[in-house]
């Protein structure tokens, strides 16, 4: 029912691609934690956010979607996201990622799946429609920088992305990505705007292991966007924000059970063959 910003920029959660790769940045107290075996920045980030060989990646992400009007925060519903990524290493040292993202909505208080949602600002009760984001193909250069798109599903797009140098403190590795997008959807008086941040976390010991091709990782994600069209907010002032956490997994079965059960109800074809869904045509962008 909603095409999330991660699909706008094809981030590795579709999470934002790196714009530049800089040397490792770490406080003085953390320097002793690194060794000669510490991977270079490109390898470290690729293991943390992607993988260094061909194969599949699964991510889950969950947290509240919140309305913001005059600095007042109103929790609206819980976003529960499952993402499949198929990684293919390229001969030039870059990678290609085919990504499918599926967003399901749950009641923010009870945790029950939502079939209809009451807009607290308008009082209108609206149907909750499931619409997967993707599959889309995303390409990254050998330095992990994203080849940014100029449109999404034929809709003009202006986008930028930045990945900060890794912060390493003892065994903790943090990588912060930021992205900005403006989508010029037909019928909107002004472009749909997205600003987001994703902070990945992993273990230096895990990422430095030569036998590890897909590092273990968790992520914090936050964003600020305009109202989504399906909410029927018109020109009311305000924005949407979210605060979500998630994890990278190696198997479909490791995605949250409640999310998989709900997906089987609203999209049984995808639930029965999630990998095959990566080869299906992508839906049209509706923001």
> Average pLDDT, stretch 216-226?
96
Q: Could you tell me the pLDDT band of residue 116, with boundaries at 50, 70 and 90? A: very high
234 φψ region: left (φ > 0), alpha (ψ -120 to 50), beta (else): left
User: In this predicted structure, what is the pLDDT of residue 247?
Assistant: 98
Contact 3, 133 (CB under 8 A): yes
> Any idea how long the chain is?
287
Lowest mean pLDDT among 110-114, 141-145, 185-189, 203-207: 185-189
Q: Which residues face 240 on adjacent strands?
A: 67, 225
Mean pLDDT of the chain: 86
Answer for the pair 285, 133: CB distance below 8 angstroms, yes or no: no
- How would you label 172-201 residue by residue, b for 16+ Cβ within 10 Å and e otherwise? ebbbbbbbbbbbebeeeeebbebbbbbbbb
pLDDT (tens digit per residue) in 53-95: 999 999 999 999 999 999 999 999 999 999 999 999 999 999 9
Higher pLDDT, 184 or 5: 184
Region 240-257: mean pLDDT is: 97
| Contact present, 155 and 183 (Cβ < 8 Å) | yes
The residues that bridge with 98 in the sheet, in sequence order, are 86, 137
Share of the chain above pLDDT 70, in %: 84
The 8-class DSSP code of residue 16 comes to P
Model's pTM, two decimal places? 0.85
Is residue 146 within 8 Å of residue 177, measured between CB atoms? no
Measured at the CA of 17, the angle between CA 11 and CA 18, to 5 degrees, comes to 160
Question: 153 falls in which pLDDT band (50, 70, 90)?
Answer: low
CA pair distance 287, 189, nearest whole angstrom: 12
**DSSP class of 255:** S
- Looking at per-residue pLDDT, the higher value among 189 and 8 belongs to 189
First to last CA, the chain: 10
């Amino acid at each position: 029912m909603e095409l999330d910003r991660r699909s706008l920029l094809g981030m590795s959660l579709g999470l934002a691609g790196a714009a530049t790769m800089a040397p490792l940045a770490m406080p003085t107290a953390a320097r002793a934690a690194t060794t000669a075996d510490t991977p270079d920045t490109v390898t470290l980030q690729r293991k943390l956010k992607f993988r260094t060989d061909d194969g599949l990646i699964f991510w889950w992400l969950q947290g509240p979607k919140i309305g913001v009007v005059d600095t007042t925060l109103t929790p609206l519903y819980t976003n529960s996201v499952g993402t499949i990524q198929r990684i293919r290493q390229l001969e030039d040292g870059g990678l290609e990622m085919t990504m499918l993202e599926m967003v399901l909505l749950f009641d923010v208080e009870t945790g029950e799946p939502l079939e209809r949602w009451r807009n607290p600002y308008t009082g209108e009760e609206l149907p909750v429609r499931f619409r997967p984001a993707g599959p889309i193909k995303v390409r990254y250069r050998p330095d992990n920088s994203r080849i940014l798109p100029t449109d999404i599903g034929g809709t003009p797009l202006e986008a930028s992305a930045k990945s900060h140098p890794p912060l390493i403190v003892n065994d903790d590795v943090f990588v912060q990505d930021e992205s900005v997008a403006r989508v010029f959807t037909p019928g909107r008086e002004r472009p749909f705007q997205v600003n987001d941040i994703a902070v990945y976390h992993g273990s230096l010991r895990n990422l430095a292991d030569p036998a590890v091709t897909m590092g273990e990782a968790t992520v914090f994600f936050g964003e600020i966007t305009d109202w989504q069209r399906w909410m029927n907010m018109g020109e009311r002032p305000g924005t949407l924000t979210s605060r979500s956490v998630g994890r990278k997994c190696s198997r479909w079965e490791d995605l949250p059970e409640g999310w998989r059960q709900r997906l089987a109800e609203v999209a049984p074809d995808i639930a029965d063959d999630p990998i095959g869904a990566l080869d299906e045509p992508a839906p049209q962008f509706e923001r």
